Structure 1
Amino acid sequence: MGEKVLSFGNYKLNAEKDETIKSIKIKKADVYKPDFQLFERFCSKHYLGVDFESLIVYLHDSVTKAKVRLSTFNRRAAGVKYWLKNVHGISPTEEQELEITMLRKLYSTEDYLRLKSMHGVQVEKQSDVLRLIDRYDTAEDKDIRIRAICLVNLYTANRPSEMVRLKVSDFELDKRTVHVQLIKQGEMARKRLTLEAVQAVKKYIIRFNLQPDDFFVGKIDKWGNYTSAQIKEDSYNSMIKKWLDFPPYTLRKTQITTMYKNGADIPTIAKQSGHKSAQTIMQHYIKLHAEDVDEFL
C-alpha cells in the first residue's frame, strides 16, 4: 500500500513538473509565433516543406530580395529555429547552421552593408523630456499618476515589459531603490531612483491609496478609478505615446545616452538599464547628437 501511495505521489510531482515546462515552452513559442507564421506562408507560396532547408531559402530571400534589416533577419532566424526545434522536433545539421551563419555575413558585404544599421526610436535630450513630464506636475489625480510613472520609466530606463510588472512592494523608497523583473534575462535588478522620482511615487501611492501588492501602473477607467491589474505592453506603449508623444523606448534610450554623456562607464549604465552586453549598449543605445560631434571637429 505504501509503495502505491509513493508511486502515485511521484507520478503527480512529475506530471506537475512536465506541465510547468510545457507552459514555459508555450509562452516562449507564442513570442515567436508571428515570425513562424510568416515563414509558413513563404513555404506555402513556394511549395516548400517546413524544415531547416526551407529556412535557409527563406533567410536568403529575406536578405537578397526583401532586403530586411539585420535585426529583422536575426529575429526571423531565432523565431523559426525555435519553432522548428521545440514545436516540430526538427534539429538543424551542422552544415545548415553554418549556412545560416554565412547568410548573416552578407550584411558585412558592400551590397547589404546599409541594411546593418539600426534605425530605432528617436533619442531626446533629457532636459526636454523632463520639461514634458513636468507639464503633469499638478494637483490633479491623473497628472500625479502620469508624472510618477513617466519619471520612474525615465530614470530606471525600464523596458515596457518591466514597467507593467512593477508592484508597489518592489519600491524601497527610503533607499531610493526599485527592484525590477528583467523578463528577457529572467533576473531581478536593483535600480536607483532620483529624489524627484521618489517624491512623485510617494505622492502617487498616497493619492490612490495603493497597497504593497498593487501593480504600480495598473488600470484606470474613464472615471479615474484605479484597478490593480497588469496591463498589456501594447497598452502601456499607447499610454506613454499619448502622454509624451513618443514611445516608452525613447525614455529608455534617452536615459542611457544621458548617463553616458554624463561620464558613466558602461558597467554602471548596464546595472541601471539591465543589459548584459556592453556591445548592445554601444551599438544600439548610445546616441549622440550632431552638435556633440561638432565640439571635436
Structure 2
Amino acid sequence: MTVTLSDFRKTKEIMIQEQLALLIQQLEIPMSLKESMHYSLQAGGKRIRPLLLLAVLEGLEKEHDDAYRVAAAIEMIHTYSLVHDDLPSMDDDDLRRGMPTNHKVFGEAVAILAGDALLTYSFGIIARLEHVSSVDKIRLIDLMSLSAGAEGMVGGQVLDIEGEEKQLELAELEQVHRLKTGALLTFSILAGAILGEATPEQMVAYSKFGRHIGIAFQIQDDILDVTGTSEELGKTAGKDESSEKSTYPSLLTLSGAQEKLDHHAAEAMAALREIGGNQERLEQLTQLIVNRKN
C-alpha cells in the first residue's frame, strides 16, 4: 500500500469536512440552528467512524459515489450524541474537542434542537442516496436506527447514566460500552461493507471486528480519562472518577484494563484475517484506536 495512514487520514478528513459543510449549507433553516449544527460538526475530532467506512471500501477494492454522504450521515449521528451528552442534564461538560461545548455557545434549547436536527437529517441523507438500491437503503436505515437508537447508542447512554455512583460487574460495563460506543462504530463498518458488496460471510466477520474494536475504543477512553490531561484530550479529564462511574481501570486497575484492551485488539485483528484480502488500512486504524492519546 503506497498511501500512508497519515496521508489517507488527511485526504479523507478534508473530503469528509467538505461534505459535511455542503450538506449543512444547503439547508434552508433558521440561521441560529444552522450555525449550531455547523459549529459542532466543524469542531474537529478524529473522524474514526467515517474513516472506518472508507477503509472497508478500500479493503474490498471498491469505490462508491455515495460513500462520503453515508460517512457524513454517520458523523452527524455521532456529533448529535456528543452535543446531547455535554448538556447539564447529562455529563454537564464545558469543553469538547478543545472548544466550548455547543450549549455554552448557543444555549441549551438550540443545542438540543441542533442535536435533534443532525440525527433526523442523517436519515434523510441515506433515504435520498442516488447510487444505492432501495433494498440497500432500507438495510442502511434499519441498521442505523438499531445502532443509534434504544437498542444501541441511546440504550447504552441510559445504562451509563444508571451506572453512575454504583459498582457495575465487568459484564455490565462491557454491555454499556458495546451499546454506547460499539454500536455506531460497528454500523460504520457494516455500512462500508454494504456499499462494497461484501459477502454474507464477510459481513459476519466485519460485525465481529466492529464489536471488538468498539469495546477497545471505549477501554482506551477509560484509560485516557485517568492518564490524560484536559489539554491532551480536548475535554475535561477525570470526569469518570468525579462521577463515580465504573470503568475498566476502576474495576481491573490500569494494568488490567490494558490487558483487556490488548485482548480486544487481538480479537479485532483476528476478525480481519477472516475477512481476507488486504485489510492493512483497517489494521492501521485498529492500532490508531488502541494507541491514541486523545
Calculate the TM-score normalised by the size of structure 2: 0.24
Q: Which has the higher contact order (CA 8 A, sep 6+)?
A: 2
Calculate the TM-score normalised by the size of structure 1: 0.24
Q: Please identify the structure whose Cα radius of gyration is greater.
A: 1
Identify the structure with the greater strand proportion: 1
